[in-house]
Amino acid sequence: MNILGIIPARGGSKGIPLKNLQKVAGKPLIEYTISSAKNSKKISRLIVSTDNEKIANVSKKLGAEVPFLRPKKFATDKSSQLDVIKHTLDFLKNEENYTPDIITILHPTNPLRKTTKIDKSINMLIKSKADIVLGVVKVKTHPFRSFWNHEGLLKPFKKDFLKFYQRQLYPPLFYPMGDIYTFWYNTYKKYGVIYGPKIKPLFNEKNEIVLDIDNYFDLFLVEKTILELNKLNNKVGKINKIGP
């Protein structure tokens, strides 16, 4: 199968300028995702979609393809993930007559994602016959206990919220971790989006650390996590090394 990995990495970011090139434990943030994808036994082609020449040059040096610079209209704060996917797939189809069987989207803001998880998502997609495999985590702050702000007053999100007085009474809900979106090309062609009716969850593993980088404090947390876990690994030898 032709399995395409796409790493969306635009240059602009309101929170952190050139976020994808910020150093984390001495390495550019994007290197963690490129490294985990290149070590995959399943991904046959890896492309970084960026509008920034600096990110493009670093990505090429790290072994990823950058066959184009993404147009600015697809690299704004309002640009969607679907815009990135459509532009990439249209480019590959028109310029190279290349069409993948499976696509996996790997955001560089999730640097702790392991190669084994990427390959697991691909295996799950093939074996389950789902339309997409989505990395998810169980919500901690449940919406049943949330409120709307309506004209300066709080209105319950759920009218019968009082009956959910114990956390154990909440129905389990999950939200996308943002680390892995693995789907069939045919799903995208059929529905015009990456989601079909059959969405297979890829739950976070026990003791898996989930950190998505949005601001400088997140950068600090990720760096400390990587350094301390690798230090512990060197000491006891029972933890997989994090990072390239």
- Look up tokens 């997409």; give the residue: 132
Sign of the alpha-carbon torsion through 71, 77, 79, 84: positive
What's the count of helices (H) and strands (E) in the chain, helices before strands? 6, 10
Instruction: Flag whether the pTM goes above 0.75.
Output: yes
Class of domain 3-139+174-236: alpha beta
- Per-residue pLDDT of 97-143, as tens digits, reads 999 999 999 999 999 999 999 999 999 999 998 999 999 988 888 88
Determine which helix (DSSP H) or strand (DSSP E) holds 33, and give its type and residue range: helix 29-38
- Per-residue pLDDT of 44-100, as tens digits, reads 999 999 999 999 999 999 999 999 999 989 888 888 999 999 999 999 999 999 999
State the amino acid at position 234 in one-letter form: N
The domains of the chain are located at 3-139+174-236
How far apart CA 85 and CA 105 sit, in angstroms, is 9
Write the CA distances from 27 to 37, 53, 57, 158, integer angstroms: 16, 18, 15, 45
